[in-house]
Amino acid sequence: MNIVLVGNPNVGKSVIFNTLTKSYVTVSNYPGTTVDISKGIGKFGGQKFSIVDTPGVNSLTPYSEDERVTRDILSKGDIACIIQVADSKNLRRSLLLTLELIKLNLPLVLNLNMTDEARERGMKIDTKKLSERLGIDVVETVAVTGEGLPKLRAAIPKARIPHPRIEDILEKRHARNRIAAYLAEEVLQVSKPLKKDVAEIISRLTMRPVTGVPILILVLVFMYYFVGKFAAGAGVDFFENTVFGKIINPFFTNIIDKYVTMGIVKELLVGDYGILTMALTYAFAIIFPIVTAFFIFFGVLEDSGYLPRLSILSDRIFRTMGLNGRAVLPIILGLGCGTMATLTTRILDTKKERILVTLLLALAIPCSAQLGVIMGILSSLSGRALMIWMSAILFVIIAVGFVASKIIPGARSPFIQEIPPIRLPQISNILSKTLARLKWYLKEAVPLFVAGTLVLFVTNKIGILKWLEHLLSPLVVNMLSLPEKAADAFIIGFLRRDYGAAGLYMLSKSGALDKIQVLVSLVVITLFVPCIAQFFVMIKERGLKAALIIAAFVFVFAFAFGGVLNFVLRYMIFKLGISVI
């Protein structure tokens, strides 16, 4: 029998789920969809139950795929109990969903979460009276600290079907809005806040353009120093030069030289395109420290409540591209993984918006690993080089978005965004999220690094790599003024974007690229075609024709823009004598 967790978005449902399960958790797509569903095992009252964490919903009347999945799970007959996780600060909205769940006539527990934030705002809920009115147990919790969780565990095995009188009322002419408002007014007492809400002040500052833009710049600068300087500098230097350079690679090279006699096997393991010397060195020595730092930083932004405020701040900019501020969410997620971000374009309301954001994700949004490597390379140049790279990418996003919005038919949808409170991130939550994402990296990305190395090894052996390098030579050498070897980075970048950036990192470190070449190559690799996984998701989400058109445009545009940038930089430096880098 299943225990199903249901709730509005941003109510701490996943934290409750992790606490109730603790182990044996699996994450998979719901059948026939791309919506992730988490399942785990919990023991209550001496019995084991399967616990299902459903996507956050605002209503059981489905308007999105997430809401359809939640409705379908609740319509099955194997449910022992529903736990509604609710935000104590938004009682009326929470009760609207409660009244829908009551009509299912299933055992229900109402979990009022985030009661600490409600208390700080001077809000007190009479849970006893609310429990009597609904005929179910009502339990207050603070999920991130564990407060109230033992009471929630105790309430699960004795969950009750809601009071029949409530169902009678719902069947009559009374509207759910009116009943929810009446219940909230009856059980909620609001007094003067216990303390001056500094979080509200910070919240307003992050959403006003005059103060929000400087705050955003500070956030980006901090990310540059934490990910680009610290992780890509000290972190990569330690893992690459000490751990792999002095310990792991010499150890395995000596063993392979001693025991492996076939030359081709030696090359496959420790050669220029060796699994150990290239694939695992790139994956663990270069990329791993960088993605770890980025995941930590991204987790802080998530848990603090900053990302929804960024969508409000950026709404005016996105309007020029036929979008609204909600588009910033898949764009920001694209800084983590472009493949998953392409899937999240489903949150956008119109086909036009989904195509536009898919195009921008494919063209100009680097994934976390690629972004970290790029920052690591740029940190060896100057602050001006970083500003040129950022300005070039932002210009492309706005210019291409503006032109594409005029070509692609359709209208922009209205912008409605729920704003969760600003919170102080919990270290334990940040660490758990980071560990989960690193597990994903190890499971999904590392095998692709090995596969990419095998592709390079085989294509190099049979001469295809040289042929591809020769094919790209007019673009790479003549248009971009890069060495022919740089073609490798663009070829392998189609398998994984960060792998292509790592190839440029190695060329830069070996002195094969001058400052102009470094900057031009980084702009082009950022704008280059998406990785193969993202390309396949584009086909799935937008169709084969649209995916091929987007990929072809991105390929041509990346090299054309890189060629123009190369010409402008060389003209300014060598003809006008302006030191721009």
| pLDDT tens per residue, range 558-568 | 999 999 999 99
8 A C-beta contact, residue 239 and residue 289: yes
Whole-number Å distance between alpha carbons of 294 and 423: 20
pLDDT tens, position by position, 148-189: 999 999 999 999 998 766 666 665 545 778 888 888 888 988
Does the reported pTM lie above 0.75? no
- pLDDT confidence band for 24 (50 / 70 / 90): low
User: What pLDDT is recorded for position 34?
Assistant: 53
Strand order in the sheet with 36-44: 26-29, 36-44, 47-53, 2-7, 79-87, 108-113, 137-140
* pLDDT band with cut points at 50, 70 and 90 for residue 519: very high
Residue pair 98/182 in contact (Cβ under 8 Å)? The answer is no
Can you give the pLDDT at residue 581?
A: 74
Q: Which residue has the higher pLDDT, 525 or 376?
A: 525
Q: How confident is the model at residue 208 (pLDDT cuts 50, 70, 90)?
A: confident
Distance CA(399)–CA(321), nearest Å, equals: 8
**Mean pLDDT, the chain, integer:** 84
Whether the Cβ atoms of residue 559 and residue 429 lie closer than 8 Å to each other: no
Whole-number pLDDT of residue 351:
86
3-state SS of 141-160?
Answer: CECCCCECHHHHHHHCCCCE
pLDDT of 548 above 60: yes
What pLDDT is attached to residue 196? 53
Task: Return the pLDDT at 23.
Answer: 61
Query: Are the C-beta atoms of 279 and 209 separated by less than 8 Å?
Result: no
29, pLDDT greater than 60: no
- Looking at residue 27, its pLDDT comes to 59
The per-residue pLDDT for 560 is: 94
Which residues face 108 on adjacent strands?
A: 82, 160
Report the alpha-carbon distance of residue 484 to residue 382 in Å, rounded.
25
Residue with more model confidence, 161 or 343: 161
- pLDDT for 31 beyond 70: no
Alpha-carbon distance of 128 to 125, in angstroms, equals 9
| pLDDT at position 492 | 76
What is the Cα–Cα distance from 366 to 364, expressed in whole angstroms? Answer: 6
Nearest to 57 by CA among 11, 26, 18: 11
Query: Greater confidence, 236 or 176?
Result: 236
> Would the pLDDT of 557 be above 70?
yes
Highest averaged pLDDT of the listed ranges 35-39, 135-139, 229-233, 436-440: 135-139
The per-residue pLDDT for 342 is: 83
DSSP 228: I
pLDDT digits (tens, 9 = 90+) for 291-323: 788 788 888 888 888 888 888 888 888 888 888
Q: How many Cα atoms occupy the beta-carbon half-sphere of 64 within 13 Å?
A: 16
Rounded Cα–Cα distance for residues 230 and 236 (Å): 9
Inter-CA distances, 60 with 9, 74, 499, Å? 13, 9, 43
Region 392-421: mean pLDDT is: 84
Mean pLDDT for the stretch of residues 45-65: 83
* Number of other residues whose CB lies within 10 A of the CB of residue 185: 10
